[in-house]
Amino acid sequence: MKVSIFGLGYVGAVSTACLANDGHDVIGVDVDPSKLEMFRAGTSPIVEEGMPELVRKVVESGKVTATNDVSQAVADSRLSFICVGTPSRSNGSQDLSAIERVCEQIGEAIKSKSDPHVVVVRSTVSPGTVEDVLCPLLEKFSGKKNGEGFDVCFMPEFLREGTSIRDFYDPPYTVIGSTSERATAVVKELLAKIDSPFHITNIRTAEMLKYSANVFHATKITFANEMGRLCKAYGVDSHEVMELFCQDTALNISTAYLKPGFAYGGSCLPKDLRALLHMAKTRDVELPMLASVAASNTTHIQTAMDAVVGNGRRNVGMIGLSFKSGTDDLRESPLVSLAEHFIGKGLTLSIYDQEVNLARLMGSNKKFIETSIPHIAELMTSDCRELIKNAEILVVGIKDKDVIEMLHEETQSDQVILDLVNIPDRHKLAGQYSGVCW
């Protein structure tokens, strides 16, 4: 395929060399004459393992040309990758000037092209940028409509500097945000030699995915380093701790705890986080990220409180009280905090939790409910169906199968539902639905 690549930095240079190595005819475009010169001379414009040899090879094979002539590059290619920089401004926002300029230039070039051109944005941009900023520019400068005269899609780039050639050929997956079957088909054809799962999603999801991945990586590094500092202060081998930590692929290195939902709570997580922060304090170890975890959790609970109280309806039905589905443990349950807040605000509250059946409660939970939250115990009902029928606003905090079925059957169009657990088959619910973070 004939491809043009805009921006010959890390992403663009590696894509140029690897796609040419796969047999495609690649035109590299950059505004920096020195990068063009280097490519033309068969030398790599970036310092990266394997690139000097690969660039020399593909340039000698005649598969790569380098130019600053945008119209020619677009006219001579089926598809363009946009790989220009999107650096930070001083307030953290993205400086889109380079990518906007490229879209204006590509749009201008598309004007005189008869075949629909495919534009693939690879630069990292925030959700909405492609559809709300870049597409309008392409339309304005080409005088053509997206989906007719050209097709735009977004493909996040996951390669890492240092291992980028390997990452190009063996990515964890390829994700394309696209509403155009034509664009998706062309990209699939281009990457036919790459054997990795291929996911198609909408453009905004693909844009956000790249940020999720990078901030997660930053969070993981910070977590390991904060644990490392604490280990050192306690004379514990941080490498050994983290080696063993990573061996648990059921709970630690896994998909567990990575689903948007409600706040954490219970008898262990809040207590142990507090204890760890106390350990750090006693040895003068600063752990800013871990120290902010509880505040973030509280913000999440506050978000749910505000959604209910701010709604204006006074008659609340809460489904779930324990800190997670399938247990009767009420200690530090965020749902108890919610209930207490609603009572404090003078709302009428009714609560159902089949695990917290007062007659069956034993031991510490019975004592906890009788001594710490007797005011909540009085509000509990054993009839979930009645609770659903009578509430103006429903707060759903457990994912029990029977409860979900009752919600599907009994909710009415004038009710409000706040979902904390990602209720399955939510299209079967009547009423005004919203999730706590979706």
Is the CB of 159 or the CB of 349 nearer to ligand NAD?
Answer: 159
Residue 291 CA to residue 287 CA, distance in Å, equals 6
Residue 107 makes contact with ligand NAD by CB under 6 A: no
Residue 159 makes contact with ligand NAD by CB under 6 A: yes
Stretch that binds ligand NAD, among 5-13, 242-250, 359-367, 394-402 (CB under 6 A): 5-13
Q: In this structure, which amino acid lies at residue 311?
A: N
Residue 65 makes contact with ligand NAD by CB under 6 A: no
Q: Which of 3, 26, 51, 102 forms a contact with ligand NAD (CB under 6 A)? A: 102
Taking the alpha carbons at both ends of the chain, their separation in whole angstroms is: 40
Provide the Cα torsion 365, 368, 371, 375; round to 10°. -90
Signed CA dihedral, 286, 292, 293, 294: sign only = positive
Q: Produce one character per residue of 216-231: b if its CB has 16 or more CB atoms within 10 Å, e if not.
A: eeeeeeeeeebbbebb
Residue 403 makes contact with ligand NAD by CB under 6 A: no
Least separation in angstroms between CB 104 and ligand NAD: 9
Q: Which of 5, 10, 420, 429 forms a contact with ligand NAD (CB under 6 A)? A: 10
Stretch that binds ligand NAD, among 55-63, 77-85, 221-229, 360-368 (CB under 6 A): 77-85
Residue 31 CA to residue 298 CA, distance in Å, equals 48
Least separation in angstroms between CB 99 and ligand NAD: 8
Is the CB of 125 or the CB of 398 nearer to ligand NAD?
Answer: 125
Q: Which two tokens stand for residue 33?
A: 């004459």
Do the beta carbons of residue 81 and residue 122 sit within 8 Å? Answer: yes
Provide the Cα torsion 40, 45, 49, 55; round to 10°. -10
Instruction: Given the residues 18, 83, 246, 268, select the one marked as catalytic.
Output: 268
Which residue, judged by CB position, is nearest to ligand NAD in the bound state? Answer: 9
268 is catalytic: yes
Residue 207 makes contact with ligand NAD by CB under 6 A: no
Residue 95 makes contact with ligand NAD by CB under 6 A: no
Residue 49 makes contact with ligand NAD by CB under 6 A: no
Residue 8 makes contact with ligand NAD by CB under 6 A: yes
Q: Which of 5, 83, 118, 130 forms a contact with ligand NAD (CB under 6 A)? A: 83
Residue 258 CA to residue 145 CA, distance in Å, equals 39
Residue 6 makes contact with ligand NAD by CB under 6 A: yes
Stretch that binds ligand NAD, among 36-44, 82-90, 178-186, 402-410 (CB under 6 A): 82-90
Footprint (CB under 6 A) of ligand NAD, residues 260-289: none
Residue 7 makes contact with ligand NAD by CB under 6 A: yes
Is the CB of 11 or the CB of 55 nearer to ligand NAD?
Answer: 11
Residue 123 makes contact with ligand NAD by CB under 6 A: yes
Q: How many residues bind ligand NAD (CB under 6 A)?
A: 25
Residue 30 makes contact with ligand NAD by CB under 6 A: yes
Residue 98 makes contact with ligand NAD by CB under 6 A: yes
Stretch that binds ligand NAD, among 96-104, 248-256, 311-319, 333-341 (CB under 6 A): 96-104
Residue 124 makes contact with ligand NAD by CB under 6 A: yes
Do the beta carbons of residue 171 and residue 137 sit within 8 Å? Answer: no
Residue 55 makes contact with ligand NAD by CB under 6 A: no
Residue 120 CA to residue 182 CA, distance in Å, equals 12
Q: Which of 3, 84, 356, 416 forms a contact with ligand NAD (CB under 6 A)? A: 84
Binding mask 129-158 for ligand NAD (x = CB under 6 A): ----------------------------x-
Q: Which of 86, 267, 337, 390 forms a contact with ligand NAD (CB under 6 A)? A: 86
Q: Which of 24, 35, 144, 399 forms a contact with ligand NAD (CB under 6 A)? A: 35
Q: Write out the residues near ligand NAD by the rule CB under 6 A.
A: 6-12, 29-32, 35, 83-86, 98, 101-102, 123-124, 157, 159-161
What residues act catalytically? 268
